[in-house]
């Protein structure tokens, strides 16, 4: 990620007047606020430790709240929540194929299938306390191990689509969880059930695997937003195991341990929901800084792509409206301009004029000097016209060696003067060619005026053309107005 120092500020205009500004703040403030943000996260994750310490130091550990129905309702709610979160993370896994999400799904599934029996056997608490108790630590141990494996798979290649939908591994895992249920029942009825080592091994194991998980996350500097949620949840799971170790069935520490675990579970499921509503993956959700950076870069790219597109559009427009040989307007574009001029003249009660031009004996130039010289003469002639007309007049090549000039707001007299200028400049020009220098050229011109010679494009074109032919008849190299 680029450092946020005093470097150049990228500012990208968004819709309306919003802008994304990146960079610019002093490095020291950036560092301090980052450290503060990390301390906040650590403080938040570790806050249940204060409650545990408080209860451990100041409460009578003998105080109990033994309510079987309340416990059954709480575990039933946790089981339903577990099923729902398992389903959502499985949907995320199906979309992204991310191995971490596969292990998260298995973690939730395993926890739910084992933990449910902790609630089911609440009524057995007086008959066989271990049958009731051991499913709790067993479920937390299974989940801690699966979440640790999940972390180890972080950023691995996604599973192939056919692997994601293969039901076999899921069936095997469900069977393994049900076997765990049976194994826990077996232990509960065995001679070692009451040994503190059994419960301590399970709960301590859950605590141990959670601690390893956190150490690996810190060592790997894994800090994306969803993985931060993952990490905080793991800390809460670990602290709940600690509270379970310190508590006794039904006492306040024991209930607190349930609440801390529930907090971790809720928070991790919040991360799952975030993934579900975005990329369906845990690794590809960026932090806000990176998102803003990416957004800014994407907008810079969009902006330059837009400019290129506008440039290309202008080029296309130009190509579609000009004659490729001479650069003059083409017939289609010229007719559009004359139509627009007619509309303007009608609206403002103005007049304009047209010149119809045809090079004299052009065939002879082609025949004598060749087509390439002819082409260069056509280009030279258009240049001559452009030099002689006014800035807002326009020249078009109508085909072959026939041209037209549009003279907005020009009376017939002005048009004749401009036509005469073109004729004389052409006659006196020397059209140099690489192949054959000094080609002499003349042009015949017919003039018509909108209003005077007609009120439609056809009539004024026809009038100019007729006068052009008359100019040819009268010996060429002249301008004719009647």
Ligand X SMILES: Nc1nc2c(ncn2[C@@H]2O[C@H](COP(=O)(O)OP(=O)(O)OP(=O)(O)O)[C@@H](O)[C@H]2O)c(=O)[nH]1
Query: Under the rule (CB under 6 A), what is the footprint of ligand X?
Result: 325, 358-363, 366, 371, 374-375, 378, 400-401, 472, 476
Q: How far apart are CA 244 and CA 7, in angstroms?
A: 52
With respect to ligand X, which residue has the nearer C-beta, 235 or 471? Answer: 471
CB of 463 to ligand X, least distance (A): 19
Cα atoms found within 13 Å of the Cα of residue 279, Cβ hemisphere only: 11
Q: How far apart are CA 38 and CA 36, in angstroms?
A: 5
Q: Tokens in use for 178? A: 């049900």
With respect to ligand X, which residue has the nearer C-beta, 289 or 375? Answer: 375
CB of 447 to ligand X, least distance (A): 17
Q: Which residues of 287-298 are buried (b: 16+ CB within 10 A; e: fewer)?
A: eeeeeebeebee
Q: Which backbone phi and psi does 356 adopt, to 5 degrees? A: -105, 125
CB of 431 to ligand X, least distance (A): 12
**118-121 LR contacts (CB < 8 Å, sep 24+):** 118/75, 119/71, 119/72, 119/74, 119/75, 119/76, 119/78, 119/79, 120/75
Q: How far apart are CA 334 and CA 397, in angstroms?
A: 9
Q: Residues 228, 38: contact at Cβ < 8 Å? A: no
> Which residue number is nearest to ligand X in terms of Cβ?
374
With respect to ligand X, which residue has the nearer C-beta, 153 or 379? Answer: 379
Local structure of residue 406 (DSSP, 8 states): E
Q: What is the dihedral of CA 424, 425, 427, 432, to 10 degrees?
A: 180
With respect to ligand X, which residue has the nearer C-beta, 256 or 359? Answer: 359
CB of 395 to ligand X, least distance (A): 15
3-state secondary structure of 68: helix
Q: Which residues of 450-470 are buried (b: 16+ CB within 10 A; e: fewer)?
A: bbebbeeeeebbebbbbbbee
With respect to ligand X, which residue has the nearer C-beta, 274 or 442? Answer: 442
Q: How far apart are CA 114 and CA 134, in angstroms?
A: 10
Q: How far apart are CA 479 and CA 482, in angstroms?
A: 10
CB of 338 to ligand X, least distance (A): 22
Q: Tokens in use for 434? A: 């690489």
With respect to ligand X, which residue has the nearer C-beta, 153 or 366? Answer: 366
With respect to ligand X, which residue has the nearer C-beta, 352 or 403? Answer: 403
CB of 360 to ligand X, least distance (A): 4
With respect to ligand X, which residue has the nearer C-beta, 269 or 326? Answer: 326
Q: Residues 452, 458: contact at Cβ < 8 Å? A: no
CB of 376 to ligand X, least distance (A): 8
Pairing of the two strands 479-480 and 443-449? parallel
User: Token match 């991790």: residue?
Assistant: 268
CB of 430 to ligand X, least distance (A): 18
Q: Tokens in use for 450? A: 């909108």
CB of 468 to ligand X, least distance (A): 9
With respect to ligand X, which residue has the nearer C-beta, 360 or 393? Answer: 360
CB of 375 to ligand X, least distance (A): 5
With respect to ligand X, which residue has the nearer C-beta, 31 or 363? Answer: 363
């Amino acid at each position: 990620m680029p450092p946020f120092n005093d470097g150049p500020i990228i500012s990208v205009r968004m819709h309306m007047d919003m802008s994304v500004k990146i960079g610019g703040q002093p490095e020291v403030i950036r560092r301090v606020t980052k450290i503060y943000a990390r301390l906040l996260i650590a403080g938040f994750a570790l806050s249940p430790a204060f409650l545990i310490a408080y209860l451990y130091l100041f409460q009578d550990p003998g105080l109990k709240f033994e309510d079987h129905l309340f416990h059954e309702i709480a575990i039933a709610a946790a089981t339903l929540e577990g099923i729902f979160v398992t389903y959502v993370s499985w949907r995320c896994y199906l979309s992204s194929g991310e191995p971490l999400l596969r292990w998260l799904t298995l973690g939730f599934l395993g926890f739910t299938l084992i933990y449910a029996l902790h609630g089911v056997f609440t009524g057995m608490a007086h008959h066989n306390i271990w049958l009731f108790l051991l499913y709790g630590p067993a479920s937390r141990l299974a989940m801690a191990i699966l979440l640790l494996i999940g972390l180890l798979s972080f950023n691995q290649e996604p599973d192939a689509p056919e692997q994601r939908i293969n039901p076999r591994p899921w069936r095997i895992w469900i069977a393994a969880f049900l076997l765990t249920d049976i194994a826990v029942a077996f232990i509960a009825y065995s001679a070692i059930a009451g040994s503190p080592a059994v419960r301590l091994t399970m709960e301590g194991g859950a605590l141990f695997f959670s601690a390893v998980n956190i150490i690996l996350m810190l060592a790997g500097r894994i800090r994306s937003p969803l993985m931060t949620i993952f990490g905080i949840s793991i800390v809460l799971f670990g602290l709940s195991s600690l509270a379970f170790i310190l508590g006794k069935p039904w006492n306040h520490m024991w209930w607190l341990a349930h609440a801390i675990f529930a907090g971790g579970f809720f928070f991790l499921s919040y991360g799952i929901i975030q993934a579900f509503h975005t990329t369906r993956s845990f690794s590809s959700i960026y932090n806000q800084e990176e998102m803003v950076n990416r957004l800014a870069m994407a907008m810079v790219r969009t902006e330059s792509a837009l400019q290129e597109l506008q440039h290309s559009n202008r080029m296309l427009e130009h190509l579609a409206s000009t004659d490729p040989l001479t650069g003059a307007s083409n017939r289609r574009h010229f007719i559009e301009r004359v139509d627009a001029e007619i509309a303007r003249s009608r609206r403002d009660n103005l007049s304009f004029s047209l010149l119809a031009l045809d090079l004299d004996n052009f065939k002879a130039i082609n025949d004598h000097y060749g087509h390439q010289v002819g082409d260069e003469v056509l280009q030279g002639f258009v240049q001559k016209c452009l030099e002689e007309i006014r800035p807002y007049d326009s020249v078009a090549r109508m085909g072959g060696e026939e041209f037209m000039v549009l003279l907005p707001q020009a009376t017939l007299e002005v048009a004749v003067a401009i036509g005469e200028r073109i004729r004389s400049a052409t006659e006196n020009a020397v059209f140099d060619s690489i192949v054959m220098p000094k080609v002499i050229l003349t042009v015949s011109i017919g003039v018509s005026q909108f209003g005077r010679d007609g009120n439609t494009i056809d009539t004024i074109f026809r009038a100019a053309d007729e006068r052009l032919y008359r100019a040819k008849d009268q010996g060429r190299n002249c301008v004719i107005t009647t």
